Amino acid sequence: MHHRHTQFLPGQTWTDTHGQPIHAHGGGVLYHEGTYWWFGEHKVAGPDGNRAMVGVHVYASEDLLNWRDAGIALSVDERPDSEIEKGCIIERPKVLYNARTHRFVMWFHLEPKSAGMSYDGARSGVAVAERPEGPYRFLHSLRPNAGMWPENVQEADKAPLSAPEQVELARLELGGAPVPWYPRNRVYRRDLVSGQMARDMTLFLDVDGRAYHLYASENNGTLHVSLLDATFTRPAGRYVRVFPGRFHEAPALMRWNDRYWLFSSDCTGWAPNTARLSSAPQLWGPWTEHGNPCLGTGAQIANSFASQPTFVLPVQGRGDAFVYMADRWCPQNPIDGRYVWLPVRFRHGLPILEWCDAWSLDVFASAGAVVDE
Ligand code: DGJ
């Protein structure tokens, strides 16, 4: 019998209840009827280890420290005509429970094998299950909001690109990395018909039961906050553009103190970078950037404890208690990527992050929120 974990050890190798390393990178956690379900990418060894050779792994826990291996929630497909064919890229899976349909709905960033390792696919995959652990059935992939204009652009900017504009935009050779010549009002117009690009992503269930998909769009330059339909399996067709040209990746959302708080990363591939905190009174905005939420030494601040965010997990039964979840990627051997979970603390009305070598949920104990004014 494996010994019980009593503390979170950010950055160390985490094992499940059988002593096996946990494979749940770029993860998210669903709480359902007394159990936490942690979904994440199952990565493999070697430089190609970010390709989906297995699928989305899921683990179950009641205490957030001891995780039972609940198996592969969504398996890749051996069939070469499948959009989730073995060897494709599946990143940042997130799952919500839909109380109307009684279904569990998984979204993830999908790069079909046909799109290669280029990340040009920039699609969203959707899968559903009757039970939290799955098996999830792949429904479809899409680029969100095809044919729909963002709600927060001027009427004059709701126009498909003209032929000369298309030529000009193609010449800019936008990949996914920040460039100073990023055209802030072109890319969503280019993608009106095909649907908007969607790479790093998260899902968020709001207090009114509406669900949102937040994704890095427009060649990573702009975030979109997009409402899902009542089944949570498609975009509802209403979305806003957030921070055009600021290149936020790795979005993770929480609601606290009547505001929505967004943790995100800068845009530097797998390398860690300086994290960002933003907030808004409504998911539709207006959004404000607050800067870097990490406190600590120069290096800790600069590279956000050597990690990029993936999710913020509300701890059940403890008011204002949130676990910040991040990944320390290991691109040369992705299977060895590490998990960096830290308690969200609050100072001067802002959620902030400080390094802990080891910690437990006791930090949230009495009052709930860790308020160190
Ligand atoms: C950074 C993202 O956070 C990851 O999910 C992954 O998409 C890499 N970029 C790919 O370079």
Q: Does residue 268 have its Cβ closer than 6 Å to ligand 1?
A: no
d(CA 33, CA 47): 39
Q: Does residue 191 have its Cβ closer than 6 Å to ligand 1?
A: no
**What percent of the chain has a predicted confidence (pLDDT) above 70?**
97
Residue type, 187: V
Atom 7 in ligand 1: which residue has the minimum CA distance?
Answer: 200
Q: Does residue 92 have its Cβ closer than 6 Å to ligand 1?
A: yes
d(CA 102, CA 131): 9
328-356 confidence digits (pLDDT tens): 999 999 999 999 999 999 999 999 999 99
The pLDDT score that the predictor gives to residue 117 is: 67
Give every CB contact of residue 299 below 8 A, 6+ residues apart in sequence. Answer: none
pLDDT band at 366 (very low <50, low <70, confident <90, very high): low
Residue type, 66: N
pTM: 0.96
pLDDT above 50 for 10 = yes
d(CA 75, CA 19): 23
The pLDDT score that the predictor gives to residue 3 is: 77
CB neighbours of residue 163 within 10 Å: 7
Cβ atoms of 215 and 226 within 8 Å: the answer is yes
Listing DSSP states for 85-108 in one string gives BTTBEEEEEEEEEETTTTEEEEEE
Q: Which two tokens stand for residue 260?
A: 């929505």
- Pocket of ligand 1, candidates 43, 51, 89, 200: which has the most ligand atoms within 8 Å of its Cβ, to mutate? 200
200 Cα: distance to centroid of ligand 1 (angstroms): 7
Q: Does residue 26 have its Cβ closer than 6 Å to ligand 1?
A: yes
The owner of tokens 């960002």 is 276
pLDDT above 60 for 370 = no
On the CB side of 161, CA atoms within 13 Å amount to: 19
Atom 5 in ligand 1: which residue has the minimum CA distance?
Answer: 200
267-305 confidence digits (pLDDT tens): 999 999 999 999 999 999 999 999 999 999 999 999 999
**What percent of the chain has a predicted confidence (pLDDT) above 90?**
94
Segment 222-240 shows an average pLDDT of 98
| Domains located in the chain, CATH noted | 1-142 (2.115.10.20)
How far CA 355 is from CA of 65, 240, 319, 342, in Å, comes to: 18, 34, 22, 7
pLDDT band at 371 (very low <50, low <70, confident <90, very high): low
The pLDDT score that the predictor gives to residue 368 is: 46
pLDDT band at 365 (very low <50, low <70, confident <90, very high): confident
pLDDT above 90 for 100 = yes
Atom 11 in ligand 1: which residue has the minimum CA distance?
Answer: 269
Mean pLDDT over the full length of the chain = 96
On the CB side of 304, CA atoms within 13 Å amount to: 30
d(CA 76, CA 83): 9
Cβ atoms of 322 and 313 within 8 Å: the answer is yes
Taking the CA of residue 265 as reference, the ligand 1 atom at the shortest distance is 3
